[in-house]
């Protein structure tokens, strides 16, 4: 697996067919190995070890190629949001910002490097944060966030 | 208070505990997914309030503090009437916690009843950096930063 094929949402565990002791590992690779529990995602382990995304992907790629890791699954966050949620967001944003809302929403999506049809759940909070920062009136910020939360909570909160 | 203002926090997968403290470090309300010792809650509140107060004395307005540790992260939100502390796993997006907290604080602003209750239990003595609440190392460090005055 190349580093580009590793997603921050992937979850790995140690392979039962090969032990890390059979391979010469670098210090950081050992650090990653000690964090593997079959639950933490690549992104979470990177956060714990203060690794950049590219460093983490490189290390996971090396470990996978050495046959030390098995892919458990993609974490839930990998799932994309339904595109119609953006109609709700655009509607609520229009109520507080007027007709510039749709342009602003597209700008924020572009800034984040995402599109309406491929937007993961984990990034939704960040997008709402960005959009809120464009609303200058605190009362309108509250109104927007309250309305948005009531509409998106089924997608982001456990039932 | 948590059930009224921040109940959505409890529905986030990975949120382990939520606590609300008055600014004089009284535990006003708490919720935990697994058992957490009450002393741990008290220490969390005290340390978070001390961070906010040390910031204030250095002319920093620390409305929000996020601390990461090996098994998770701590999100503290300081309000003039109380301090909210959320303990969550690393995978939880802080922006999601912030969104729910922002909405909860807006609801608090509109609830005179809750404001009355909170203000009633707060004594007003908010010197969380008082000598009896910090140890010698902390005192020396805060003195070096000119946050505390030198004692003879």
Question: How would residue A111 be classed by pLDDT, with cut points 50, 70 and 90?
Answer: very high
- A121-153 confidence digits (pLDDT tens): 878 999 999 999 999 999 999 999 999 999 888
Predicted confidence at residue A29, as pLDDT, reads: 92
Question: How would residue A77 be classed by pLDDT, with cut points 50, 70 and 90?
Answer: very low
Query: Residues for chain A: how many in total?
Result: 159
How far apart are alpha carbons A50 and A27 in whole angstroms? 14
**Percent of chain A residues topping a pLDDT of 70:** 95
Is B34 within 8 Å of chain A by CB?
no
Nearest Cα of chain A lies from the Cα of B70 at a distance, in angstroms, of: 6
Q: Are A77 and A122 in contact (CB under 8 A)?
A: yes
Provide CB contacts within 8 A for A97, sequence distance 6+.
A104, A134, A135, A140
Provide CB contacts within 8 A for A86, sequence distance 6+.
A105, A116, A119
Is A64 within 8 Å of chain B by CB?
no
Give me the interface pTM, i.e. the ipTM: 0.79
Q: Which residue of chain A comes nearest to B105, CA vs CA?
A: A142
Say whether A157 and B68 touch across the interface (CB within 8 A): no
How far apart are alpha carbons A108 and A127 in whole angstroms? 7
Give how far the C-alpha of residue A79 lies from the chain's centroid of Cα atoms, to the nearest Å.
10
Query: Residues for chain B: how many in total?
Result: 152
Q: Are B30 and B19 in contact (CB under 8 A)?
A: yes
Q: What is the CA radius of gyration of chain B?
A: 16
User: What are the C-alpha distances in Å from A148 to residues A85, A124, A125, B80, B146?
Assistant: 10, 11, 11, 26, 43
Mean predicted lDDT score pLDDT of chain A? 87
Say how many Å lie between the first and final Cα of chain A, rounded: 36
Domain A3-77 is found in CATH 3.30.420.40: no
- A1-16 confidence digits (pLDDT tens): 888 888 877 889 998 8
Q: What is the mean pLDDT of residues A108-113?
A: 92
For chain B, the structural domain boundaries read 2-137
Provide CB contacts within 8 A for A66, sequence distance 6+.
A18, A23
Is A122 within 8 Å of chain B by CB?
yes
For chain A, the structural domain boundaries read 3-77, 85-156
How far apart are alpha carbons A136 and B9 in whole angstroms? 26
CA nearest B83: which of B129, B134, B118? B118
Query: What are the phi and psi torsion angles at A149 (to 5°)?
Result: -60, -40
Nearest Cα of chain B lies from the Cα of A20 at a distance, in angstroms, of: 23
Q: What is the mean pLDDT of residues B20-42?
A: 83
Q: Are B65 and B51 in contact (CB under 8 A)?
A: yes
Predicted confidence at residue A72, as pLDDT, reads: 82
Q: Which residues of A touch B11 (CB under 8 A)?
A: 153, 157-159
Predicted confidence at residue B150, as pLDDT, reads: 60
CATH numeric code, B2-137: 3.30.450.30
């Amino acid at each position: 697996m190349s580093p580009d094929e590793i997603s921050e949402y992937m979850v790995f565990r140690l392979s039962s067919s090969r032990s890390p002791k059979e391979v010469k590992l670098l210090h950081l690779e050992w650090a990653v190995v000690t964090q593997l529990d079959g639950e933490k995602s690549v992104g979470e382990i990177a956060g714990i070890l203060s690794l950049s995304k590219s460093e983490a992907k490189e290390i996971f790629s090396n470990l996978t190629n050495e046959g030390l890791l098995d892919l458990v699954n993609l974490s839930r966050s990998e799932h994309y949001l339904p595109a119609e949620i953006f109609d709700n967001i655009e509607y609520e944003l229009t109520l507080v910002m007027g007709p510039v809302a749709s342009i602003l929403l597209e700008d924020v999506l572009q800034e984040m490097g995402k599109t309406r049809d491929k937007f993961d759940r984990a990034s939704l909070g960040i997008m709402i944060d960005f959009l809120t920062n464009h609303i200058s009136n605190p009362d309108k910020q509250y109104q927007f966030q309250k309305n948005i939360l009531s509409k998106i909570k089924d997608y982001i909160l456990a039932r | 208070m948590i059930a009224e203002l921040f109940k959505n926090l409890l529905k986030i997968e990975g949120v382990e505990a939520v606590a609300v403290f008055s600014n004089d470090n009284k535990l006003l309300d708490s919720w935990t997914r697994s058992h957490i010792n009450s002393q741990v809650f008290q220490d969390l509140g005290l340390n978070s309030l001390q961070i906010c107060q040390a910031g204030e004395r250095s002319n920093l307005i620390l409305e929000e503090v996020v601390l990461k540790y090996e098994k998770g992260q701590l999100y503290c939100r300081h309000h003039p009437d109380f301090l909210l502390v959320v303990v969550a796993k690393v995978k939880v997006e802080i922006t999601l916690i912030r969104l729910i907290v922002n909405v909860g604080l807006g609801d608090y602003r509109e609830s005179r009843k809750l404001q009355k209750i909170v203000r009633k239990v707060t004594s007003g003595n908010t010197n969380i950096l008082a000598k009896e609440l910090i140890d010698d190392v902390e005192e020396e460090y805060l003195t070096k930063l000119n946050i505390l005055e030198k004692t003879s």
